[in-house]
Amino acid sequence: MTPLAGLLPDGIASALGLAPAFRGRQVFRWIHRGIESFAGMSDLPAALRSSLDSRADILTSRVDSRSESEDGSVKLRIRLHDGAAIEAMSLQDGRGRRTACLSTQAGCGMGCAFCRTGLMGLVRDLAAHEIVEELLHLRRETGDVGTIVFMGMGEPLLNPGPVAAAVGVFAHSDGPGMSLRRTTISTCGIVEGIRRLAEEGPAVRLAVSLVSAVPGTRAALMPVSRANPLPALREALGFYQERTRRRVTLEVVLIDGVTDRAEDAEALVEWAASLGVMVNLIPWNPVTEIAFRESPPQRVRWFKERLEAARVPVTERLRKGRGVNGACGQLAVIEG
């Protein structure tokens, strides 16, 4: 059976041998209108609909569970065809607008000390159709989505082909029609991946989980920094900005007594000095399996004011999804 969700119209037509080729566009449109069976594709000939039932899959995954928090955030646990499971979030802002937070891998092999997903280890990469199916499930459960962030489970820049293919599907005018400017890839700092993104695209926004600009602190918290040290990461971001002319978001997780110290603030001011960045402060979200503490509000406020005094653009991320263990660093499927 051919999975269709990760294919563009021409790809659908080619994979299924459809003639005339516009049949691929028709199938593509129906998939992204939320139709889950070929029988509902009313502008296709009956014989073709019947044939497709035995040749192709619209969805290869299913929703195992749905959890909703008081802030309107919805978390889906999605079961993949081979039994692996992932989580995806629909986050709602104060105006009712929704952001889809999508996973790119089942589990994660980066081992960041503050992130629950890392406790799973890496199960496997997701295929393009599995990434796209996350959005299809979320839209069915929560309605239209205006923004997409690849900030769920996994490291997007270590699964570049399927992520780029999914972005292409999301951006297609006959599908979700998502603006690339409203799509963000978040990385823990894969230097070669950042350079490849600058040279090859897709032309989405980039966020980097910096956490700390103190080399020893970052190395202790993020094993990725051993092969991707801070000087090389900074050089890669400079290259990215030179090529794309786009601002980068630096994500800084504030952990009490670990990354919210004066030396962290000063190092960050110096590290970001000549880069075109926005610093996004993220108070650490509690995880029962990890013995850190979130920075107290007064410390977050002090840290933010220190950056503002140094003229570093800074914002504080709203706390969304905590009620369902769906906030930054809380996603995981740990099964006994």
Catalytically active residues, by annotation: 87, 328
Q: Residue 221: helix, strand or coil by DSSP?
A: helix
Q: How many CB atoms lie within 10 A of CB 294?
A: 18
As a residue count, the chain comes to: 336
Residue that has been written with the tokens 């690849």 in this structure: 150
User: What's the helix, strand, coil split of the chain in %, to 5?
Assistant: 40, 20, 40
The rounded distance, in Å, linking the Cα atoms of 69 and 326 is 9
Q: Read off the tokens for 279.
A: 């610093």
Which one-letter amino acid corresponds to residue 13?
A
Closest to 325 (Cα-Cα) out of 131, 122, 136, 73 = 73
Distance CA 38, CA 26 (A): 11
User: Both tokens of residue 186?
Assistant: 């978040």
